Amino acid sequence: MPENILFPPEGLRPQPAFSLQSLQTAQESGAILEAFVQRCDVHRDLHLLLGPIAGMLPREEALAPWISGAERDISILSRVGKQTCFTVTAISADEKGAPVARLSRRAAQEKAMDYFLQHLVPGSVVSAKVTHLAAFGAFLDIGCGIIAMLPIEHISVSRIAHPKDRFRVGQKILAAVKSVDRENRRFTMTHRELLGTWMENASYFRPGETVRGIVRSVKEYGSFIELAPNLSGLVDTRENLHPGDGVSVYIKSIRPERMKIKLQLIETLPPEPVPQPLRYQITDGVLSRWVYSPPNYEKAPVESIFKAAVP
């Protein structure tokens, strides 16, 4: 089970049937709830509809101040139309006597961060949601809107030109903690280890098969074809191949001792209408050491070591 199951990313928490009684119970227990933000008023306060009850999330309670960009208006405006977590801090009546629940996303984020700093260590596997893609990596919500960075070099073993080649915004993924900066309350993530070793990926393929692949890089001596996010093979030099092209390839040989797959190009293919789902080999627990290369690999092993930073 992922380590952040108590504080899932926003949008992944089950939504209860709201009532005045359930909100009063949540206020007493400090439970974290979630609902869609309906609008942002001129004072930058957020308004939610919690079943028959109106909810108001004040501007100062919309985001924990230690989160990067918390002071910017866009951090508030961008919550409209999105599921947002909160705790119930008070329930009062408006001028017409109708109940109004006062909410705090900040309190939910403080709870989540306290838990993460206590329980998450390098190697911890968590559920995450992709919130933004940039040339250098992907931003992930690892719980209650707390954002962590996943650098592009840690997304997969097969190199990609941009994170959009692997992810889409809003996608639910798994990730592992690469490092923890406790002083600044920041987490850096990795993803490639969860996609499996060379042998685990190669086990899905056999010499003599023809399969679909994606051109990832074109060199003078040949082109690297991604068969899976953590597995690539090489085809001989061909003209008119470009990174991102879909192709069909014939598998000529698989050599674990050299970690090489020799391929023969059959033809180029149109893009897939829907990206293939990611296939995870690791889905929970805490990693300490991950070795990508096969046991009989001729060169130095390709591996990842997870350890806490020295204070």
* CATH 2.40.50.140 in the chain, residue ranges: 20-111, 120-196+281-305, 198-269
Residue ranges of the chain whose pLDDT lies below 70? 309-311
pLDDT in tens, 234-264: 999 888 899 999 999 999 999 999 999 999 9
CB contact set of 235 (below 8 Å; sequence gap of 6+): 222, 223, 225, 247, 249, 263, 264, 265
Can you tell me the distance from the alpha carbon of 190 to that of 274, in angstroms, rounded to the nearest whole number? 24
Can you tell me the distance from the alpha carbon of 12 to that of 14, in angstroms, rounded to the nearest whole number? 6
Can you tell me the distance from the alpha carbon of 267 to that of 248, in angstroms, rounded to the nearest whole number? 6
What pLDDT is attached to residue 239? 81
What pLDDT is attached to residue 309? 59
Please name the fold of domain 198-269.
OB fold (Dihydrolipoamide Acetyltransferase, E2P) (2.40.50)
pLDDT in tens, 172-203: 999 999 999 999 999 999 999 999 999 999 99
Can you tell me the distance from the alpha carbon of 101 to that of 207, in angstroms, rounded to the nearest whole number? 63
Domain spanning 20-111: CATH superfamily: Nucleic acid-binding proteins (2.40.50.140)
Can you tell me the distance from the alpha carbon of 62 to that of 69, in angstroms, rounded to the nearest whole number? 12
Output b/e per residue, 196-231; b: 16+ Cβ within 10 A.
bbbbbbbeebeeeeebebbbbbbeeebbbbbbbbbb
pTM here is 0.93
Can you tell me the distance from the alpha carbon of 103 to that of 198, in angstroms, rounded to the nearest whole number? 48
The candidate with the shortest Cα–Cα distance to 158, out of 209, 227, 212, 205, is 227
Q: In this structure, what token pair is assigned to residue 217?
A: 């890089």
Please name the fold of domain 120-196+281-305.
OB fold (Dihydrolipoamide Acetyltransferase, E2P) (2.40.50)
